[in-house]
Structure 1
Amino acid sequence: MTTKPTPFELHPRLAADSLPVKTLGLCELRLINDSRWPWLILVPRRPDTVEFHDMTGLDQTMLTFELGLVSKPFKALTGCDKLNIAMIGNMVPQLHAHIVARSSGDANWPGPVWGFGEAVAYEPGVADAFIDDLVKAVFPL
């Protein structure tokens, strides 16, 4: 007897803390709803995936490709000094990769964004405009 595969479900905390941007080949691309710094996450749409090594080699390659696909235009769009890219996941066990645009003088520069202050949600319409600009930058016509 075969068992039905577990479907992918976005972790509730990631869903609550972020806004959808676009579905890529492997990942859900999302914007963290914190206007203090531009912050994206890529969440591989694979169930029960906690660590990078839990994925197949092909999925590992695809995640790396999608990080590159998004990060270069994201850096150009934000004009940041540095991108912080990490797969930490101590608070949320579902594998996800962070891409945080950091600039000299931003909140808590040069310290980490994690655990610093309280999130400041985007004003209505601002996140939508940023998402539109990001999608155009990553996927130009």
Structure 2
Amino acid sequence: MSERDFVIDTRLRADTRHVASLDLCDVLLMNDARFPWLVLVPRRAGMVEICDLAAAEQTTLWLEAHRAAQALRAIAAFDKLNLGALGNIVRQLHVHVVGRRQGDSAWPGPVWGSGAAQHYEPQELEQMLGRLQNELRVL
């Protein structure tokens, strides 16, 4: 399977907004204002685990995760950066890049399953997308 066969999982599409397309990954913003939270999805059909990617693509994935983390740091204050590739609910390969603050609504536990998402207000969502796009230098 190739990039042209790639489709983002329906749950990821429902829970996120597209920020940018990097060399390998689509960068998505989780629509949950409680946490600065990006999701990177490699545009490769049929990928489930990081080890399913070719070695060079694994390197690109981590470089793009670093780039996403730097973009988050530039626009949001947080105490700890969490990276995760769980895939227990959404099997499609994706990597979470989440900024955490001591005392946030899920602290110190994981963000997954920690209550209902609080969606961004439309204007706030557009501002976040614009700032992230600017930081990722894709405008």
- Report the TM-score when normalising by structure 1: 0.92
Where does residue 86 of structure 1 map in the other structure?
84
In structure 2, what is the Cα distance between the partners aligned to 1:69 and 1:34? 21
Mapping for residues 50-129 of structure 1, pairs under 5 Å? 50-129=48-127
In structure 2, what is the Cα distance between the partners aligned to 1:118 and 1:71? 24
CA RMSD of aligned residues (A): 1.7
**Residue 129 to residue 93, structure 1, CA distance change in 2 (3 Å):** same
Q: What is the identity percentage for the equivalent residue pairs of Structure 1 and Structure 2?
A: 42
Q: How many matched pairs? A: 138
Bigger Cα Rg: 1
Instruction: Map Cα deviations across residues 82-108 of structure 1 (whole Å, 9 max, x no partner).
Output: 110010110000000000111112112
Match 1:26 to one of 21, 24, 29: 24
Q: 4+ residue stretches of structure 1 with deviation over 4 A?
A: none
In structure 2, what is the Cα distance between the partners aligned to 1:115 and 1:140? 32
Deviates more, 1:108-117 or 1:19-28: 108-117
- Report the TM-score when normalising by structure 2: 0.93
